[in-house]
Structure 1
Amino acid sequence: MPDPAESTEPGRDPAADDLLARQRWRLVLGKFSERSLGSGFGDEGAAVPGSSGPGSGKPGAGGGGGREGRGGRYGRMDRALDYLYGREYGRRGIRGFSPTGGDEASVLAIPDWLKDVRELFPRETVEVLEKHALERYGMTELVTDAEALGKMEPSYELLKAVMSFRHLMEPNVLRAARALVRQVVEDLKRKLTQEVRPVLWGKLNRQRRSPLKVARNLDWHRTIRANLKNYDRQEKRIVLESLLFSSRVERHMPWHIIMAVDCSGSMMDSVIHSAIMAGIFKALPAVRVSLVAFDTAVVDLSEHADDPTEVLMSVQLGGGTNIAGAMGYCEGLVRTPSRTIVVLVTDFCEGVAGHLLPASVKRLREAGARVLGLAALDAEANPVYDRNMAERCVAAGAEVAALTPRRLAEWMARILS
């Protein structure tokens, strides 16, 4: 929310300061504070915080002393906040609540609300408001309306909302959602790749030059030595005529990575990161990747393993869990056990007979395959899983841990090397 800087200019109008303070408190406390504070949003041309009058160029800032229609900018902010947080009053059974922000002449629809929020508040505040709308107040209209989706700021929380309500979307909305999901996923993949690629693709080989001019491979020591002859004494600097780069030791390993990802309702964060990690593994040289999604049924998504967006738009979260059934399917995919790693991403909350999952793990281990149990993590990387079942899988030969994507990459690299 805009926070106007305190002014120390002499001659400042105390009445204007008082009005500004009442407006700000009114936004914080909501419309039921009007009796004590008054609305403060009349058409009296009160100063608009963050506006410098005509031609300021800021969103929503206009001429006429900060007036922009009924109630000025603070009035618009009040209606936008009340449209969302007024729902809290309805939850508590307070009479007079209206989820459309009252009976004013201008009733906000979802796309209009999004437009106003984006114009009136800074980006950080917009993300908080959208998150509260989706998670706290169930405003699923945000992800079932193509126009609304087009106006939303792509974010991780929005990605999760689209995955949750994808089954409610019409085809035209799905197209808009897919574009939004791809944008968020590509950003996540880029960040994760920067973290895990060096771990998986090998260390720098300082003894070997590379024609590939990549910034992270720049060999500063050799570059400086090679260009010392170009030292400019007057400017006191080295003129670089040539840059030298080191190559990387690439690991060529005939490994088969099978990722079995639990898609029950509690696994959303793990599903997102697993889909992206499968895409990163798919790009490794001489590594084959199979991607299996499951709840009570099993879906083989291996053909889409290199496209995390397609994977996430294909899975349907929810339902029960049959981990043993998925592991049985993975057993059928194994061709060379000694070169196979089965990565089971789950919360270990088994929905069928408890002895079946450890038995499957034992069969895979006896055949020579490695079994890694990756316990579910929430968005804050806190482990959430059934420790008793995880311990039974460890006793059967699995290696179980709760890891971030980078730690998973380090774990995999130790095995692959």
Structure 2
Amino acid sequence: MSDPELSRRWRLALGRYAERSLPNGGLSREDLRADRALDYLYAREMEKRGLRRDKRKSSGAGSLDPSQLTPLGWLGELRELFPQSVYETVQAHAIDNLGMADLLSDPGVLEAMEPSKDLLKALIAFKGKADPAMREKIREVTRKVVEDILRRLRPRIEAALAGKPNRFRRSQIKSMQNFDWRATIRDNLKNWDAERGVIVADRLRFYGRSRRRLPWTVILCVDQSGSMLSSTIYAAVMASILSSLPAVDVKLVVFDTSVVDLSSEAHDAVEVLMSVQLGGGTNIGAAVEYCETLISQPTRSIFVLISDFEEGAPVGRMLAGVRRMASARVTMLGLGALSDDAAPVYDRRMAERLAGCGMQIAALTPDHFAEWIGEKIA
């Protein structure tokens, strides 16, 4: 390859397995550090594909054997060598795609890692095997990630759930969300400035907002299967936000082949996530039947099934339960995904059958889910 810079970039992208075709003589000392740090992770993936690590020394460069690095040292190298966005991406590959469990077995390593949703997903899957010291570190990371999600989502979700604008009541709360531009223009027409062609508004008008008095029951029924882990995290966060509303009684149920009622913990997303147990089969029908027992006022109840709809038991029990709730006029929503990207992977045929029984089917981001809830309980 005649272009040295192009050769360098390809060599860094392809790693040590390209040494024979692209010698690393053109790599700087920093390049060699980056090459070693990336090789520590990605050579594991190449080994899974049947390629052995070449432990011969490269001319003048010394060995790049990944065993020279420890997980903690590797994380330190990543922080020094790469921008934050690259660091988080490589860390996510390590804990999610490439299964580096050794990153999660040392409290010191865990403390050095950047809290993120990808890390949280890995920790939730790992926590059942963790010793008490590790579980405390996992709880700390869980709290940091949950607090970050709440900080981003709470204002939008609370605004969506605050109530519909009441166009017949004026508010003393000066918020642009409540700004009544029609009434403002009408009240300030007398201040028309013909020379400038503008209305000078000396009085702004704002809508009041309707208050909800009668209680609603919102039942979140969450599939614990591994494919629904991102949705489980957001379901726990949504349950904690909904629990803070005075007119909403939140029930939180998680299931695999067993059904666990976490309603008493619904206000605490961290406690919910520390209680989630991944794995096992899926019995949606049993979860639906249990949730039916939580309904006392069907017309003021919302049942939300968060699942990939991959039923492991005979489907008749699930469909019959959904039909009964539909007949009782329970509002029902099936979510194939509740996440930032709202990208579901689910059994479409089963979703269609549930829709035929009276359940709405969707994939929503948390703020759109809050808007949907807000519309139903308005």
Determine if the TM-score, normalized by the shorter chain, exceeds 0.5: yes
**Percent sequence identity over matched residues?**
47
- State which of 366, 372, 387 in structure 1 corresponds to 2:348: 387
- Greater displacement, 286-295 / 204-213: 204-213
CA contact (8 A) 1:328 1:360 kept: yes
Aligned residues: 358
2:194 aligned partner: none
The one-character-per-residue Cα deviations of 1:84-142 (angstroms, maximum 9, x if unpaired) are: 122233223334446xx956598100011001101110011111211221233211122
CA contact (8 A) 2:213 2:247 kept: yes
The one-character-per-residue Cα deviations of 1:238-277 (angstroms, maximum 9, x if unpaired) are: 9x9x999865433233111111111122211221121112
How far did residue 35 of structure 1 move?
4.1
- Are 2:293 and 1:336 equivalent residues in the alignment? no
2:72 aligned partner: 111
Alignment of 1:98-247 (within 5 A): 107-204=68-165
The one-character-per-residue Cα deviations of 1:382-407 (angstroms, maximum 9, x if unpaired) are: 23222332333333332333333233
The one-character-per-residue Cα deviations of 1:155-194 (angstroms, maximum 9, x if unpaired) are: 2211111112121222212211211122212222232323
CA contact (8 A) 1:258 1:290 kept: yes
- Are 2:323 and 1:366 equivalent residues in the alignment? no
The one-character-per-residue Cα deviations of 1:214-241 (angstroms, maximum 9, x if unpaired) are: 786688997xx99xxxxxxxxxxx9x9x
Give the letter for the 2:14 counterpart.
L
- Greater displacement, 27-36 / 210-219: 210-219
- Are 2:312 and 1:327 equivalent residues in the alignment? no
1:74 aligned partner: 31
The one-character-per-residue Cα deviations of 1:61-82 (angstroms, maximum 9, x if unpaired) are: xxxxxxxxxxx43332221111
Distance 1:269 1:96, change over 3 A: closer
Give the letter for the 2:274 counterpart.
M
Q: Alpha carbon RMSD of aligned pairs, Å?
A: 3.4
CA contact (8 A) 2:341 2:365 kept: no
The unaligned stretches of length 5 or more in structure 1 are 1-17, 47-71, 227-237
Instruction: Tell me which of the two structures has the higher relative contact order, counting C-alpha pairs closer than 8 angstroms and 6 or more residues apart.
Output: 2
1:285 aligned partner: 246
How far did residue 360 of structure 1 move?
1.0
Distance 1:120 1:285, change over 3 A: same
Q: Distance in 1 between matches of 2:30 and 2:236?
A: 43
- State which of 1, 9, 12 in structure 2 corresponds to 1:27: 12
2:377 aligned partner: 416
Q: Distance in 2 between matches of 1:73 and 1:103?
A: 13
Give the SS at the match of 1:376. Answer: strand
Structure with the higher fraction of residues in helix conformation: 2
2:24 aligned partner: 39
The unaligned stretches of length 5 or more in structure 2 are 56-61, 189-199
Distance 1:88 1:397, change over 3 A: closer
Distance 1:370 1:215, change over 3 A: closer
CA contact (8 A) 2:339 2:366 kept: no
Give the letter for the 2:155 counterpart.
Q
CA contact (8 A) 1:253 1:285 kept: no
CA contact (8 A) 1:378 1:384 kept: no
The one-character-per-residue Cα deviations of 1:339-387 (angstroms, maximum 9, x if unpaired) are: 2221111122111121111111122233342222223367642232223
Give the letter for the 1:135 counterpart.
D
Give the SS at the match of 1:385. Answer: coil
Q: Distance in 2 between matches of 1:414 and 1:186?
A: 26
How far did residue 211 of structure 1 move?
6.4
Q: Distance in 2 between matches of 1:388 and 1:219?
A: 46
Distance 1:108 1:309, change over 3 A: same
What TM-score comes out, normalization by structure 1 length?
Answer: 0.75
Q: Distance in 2 between matches of 1:411 and 1:277?
A: 13
Q: Distance in 1 between matches of 2:259 and 2:150?
A: 25
- State which of 15, 40, 48 in structure 2 corresponds to 1:83: 40
CA contact (8 A) 2:340 2:366 kept: no
- Greater displacement, 397-406 / 136-145: 397-406
Give the SS at the match of 1:334. Answer: coil
1:94 aligned partner: 51
Larger radius of gyration: 1
Give the letter for the 1:84 counterpart.
L
Distance 1:74 1:285, change over 3 A: same
Give the SS at the match of 2:68. Answer: coil
- Greater displacement, 358-367 / 319-328: 358-367
Q: Distance in 2 between matches of 1:313 and 1:374?
A: 22
Give the letter for the 1:92 counterpart.
R
- Greater displacement, 277-286 / 116-125: 277-286
- State which of 226, 232, 236 in structure 2 corresponds to 1:275: 236
